[in-house]
Amino acid sequence: MAAGHCPGMAEFARLSLPLDTPPMEAKLTDAIPTGEEWQFEPKWDGFRCLAFRDGGSVELMSKSGKPLGRYFPEIVEALLQLEEQRFVFDGELVLPMGDILSFADLQLRLHPTASRVEKLARETPAQLMLFDCLQLGRQDLRAEPLSARRAVLESFMESAAGPRLSFHLSLRPARWRSNGSPTAAECWMASSPSAATSPTNPASAR
């Protein structure tokens, strides 16, 4: 078991969100939303993940509510190295292999043997791509608009980003168009910066 990894809920009682909080899901649409109020980013080919930390305890939770921390000790360790002691981030676990993200190699990380997990963590380390901040310190940000949450995350990541933790800037329509056609990506996410988080009222579209 990774140092700091804790699958129980009691250790996270000071957080505003329980470990079984479902992430906000995207809606599948046929048309790309239009209007300058939308922002865009690629859909990452990985495991959706909520990252929880309260003091010396860290857990990574899948969108189905299953703990992932034991399979990604390098991510747990990276989160424990951050100066901030309490947070909840929304992101995607990905595994870079050269110029691509390998979902097949990422799936190999879900191995029941601890020694195998540790070997893969050294040889093929994963990365947590963050795109939302639901709590930072004592501040519950869920009621804040996405634009405010992203601003908090962007500021935080100026000093927190590293090989295991990353953050992708959202693109507004003008910048998005200048970065090429949406067909160049497998899928794009579109989000309204005015949206607050809600598991039952998703604010983004694929």
Fold exhibited by the domain 46-170: D-amino Acid Aminotransferase; Chain A, domain 1 (3.30.470)
Does residue 171 carry a pLDDT above 90?
A: no
Alpha-carbon span 4 to 107, nearest angstrom: 23
Task: Give tens-digit pLDDT for 38-69.
Answer: 777 777 889 999 999 999 999 999 999 999 99
Task: Determine the residue type at 76.
Answer: V
The answer to whether residues 203 and 24 touch, using CB atoms and an 8 Å cutoff, is yes
Instruction: Say if residue 165's pLDDT is above 70.
Output: yes
Q: What is the pLDDT of residue 46?
A: 93
Share of the chain above pLDDT 90, in %: 52
Q: How confident is the model at residue 122 (pLDDT cuts 50, 70, 90)?
A: very high
**DSSP state for residue 170 in the 8-state scheme:** -
- The whole-number pLDDT of residue 124 equals 94
For the stretch 12-38, pLDDT in tens is 988 999 999 988 877 777 877 777 777
Question: What value does the mean pLDDT of the chain take?
Answer: 81
Q: State which H helix or E strand residue 40 sits in.
A: strand 39-42
Average pLDDT over residues 99-127: 94
Catalytic residue among 27, 43, 63, 119: 43
Task: State yes or no: pLDDT of 174 exceeds 60.
Answer: no
What is the predicted pLDDT for the residue at 195? 61
pLDDT of residue 184: 36
Domain ranges of the chain: 46-170
Is 131:91 a contact under the CB 8 Å cutoff? yes
Return the HEC string of the chain.
Answer: CCCCECCCCHHHCCCCCCCCCCCCCEECCCCCCCCCCCEEEECCCCEEEEEEEECCEEEEEECCCCECHHHCHHHHHHHHCCCCCEEEEEEEEECEECCEECHHHHHHCCCCCHHHHHHHHHHCCCEEEEEEEEEECCEECCCCCHHHHHHHHHHHHHHHCCCCEEECCCECHHHHHHCCCHHHCCCEEEECCCCCCCCCCCCEEC
What predicted TM-score, i.e. pTM, was given to this entire model?
A: 0.80
> What is d(CA 128, CA 122) in angstroms, rounded to the nearest whole number?
15
* Band of pLDDT at residue 1, cut at 50, 70 and 90: very low
Task: Spell out the residues 6+ positions from residue 110 whose beta carbon is closer than 8 angstroms to its own.
Answer: 71
Catalytic residue list contains 43: yes
173, pLDDT greater than 60: no
Query: Which pair of structure tokens corresponds to residue 73?
Result: 């000790």
pLDDT at 110 over 90: yes
pLDDT of residue 35: 74
How high is the pLDDT of residue 8?
60
